[in-house]
Amino acid sequence: MSSTADNVRVTFKGEYDFGVDDKRRLQVPAKWRPAEGVVLSVHFWKSENQQHPCLLVLPPATARKLEEKMEGMSFSDPKAESLRRLLGADCDDLTLDSAGRICLPENLATKAGIGKKVILVGLFDRFQIWHPEFRAVTRVSDEVLRLEAMKQI
């Protein structure tokens, strides 16, 4: 879970299909919407087990944790510097408009293959935005890992 205001917690659960309009605006499910004025952080994301990329959206508390981890990495470690450049260059800040939409940055949407339709996947303390075909591939690999993954809890 993530804290989006001093006393309000938002948990991102479920999976939703949504359309993206010509201005790259995307509706956020009502129960996922943070408090007014909260800035969300969006990152181009492709981890080791992902065949395709997605966009990862972090609320402030989760974004702070990532930033603190990055700040704690050595300045002399070339892998850490590379990671900071990659993550720093491929992110942006988002705010919801009065209709509960976010506007996806063009460069990140293009890089993640985002078109007119997306699938939002809740990850409890963050959520992902997927191209539907990429999500279908990832869903298959998630099912393959299900038994091993369940051992984590």
User: Domains of the chain: which residue ranges?
Assistant: 2-150
Query: What CATH superfamily is the domain 2-150?
Result: Transcriptional regulator MraZ domain (3.40.1550.20)
Q: Which amino acid is at 31?
A: K
Does pTM surpass 0.85? yes
Which pLDDT score, from 0 to 100, does residue 6 have? 44
- CA-wise closest residue to 60 among 17, 21, 9: 9
With a CB cutoff of 8 Å and minimum separation 6, the contacts of 21 are none
d(CA 52, CA 131): 9
Q: Are 18 and 32 in contact (CB under 8 A)?
A: no
pLDDT by residue for the chain (153 residues), tens digit each?
A: 444 444 457 899 999 999 999 999 999 999 999 888 899 999 999 988 889 999 999 999 999 999 999 999 999 999 999 999 999 999 999 999 999 999 999 999 999 999 999 999 999 999 999 999 999 999 999 999 999 999 988
Which pLDDT score, from 0 to 100, does residue 8 have? 58
User: 85: how many CB neighbours lie within 10 A of its CB?
Assistant: 10
d(CA 38, CA 93): 10
- CA-wise closest residue to 91 among 110, 107, 115, 74: 107
Residue 147 to residues 44, 50, 57, 134, 152, Cα–Cα distance (Å) = 28, 18, 26, 22, 10
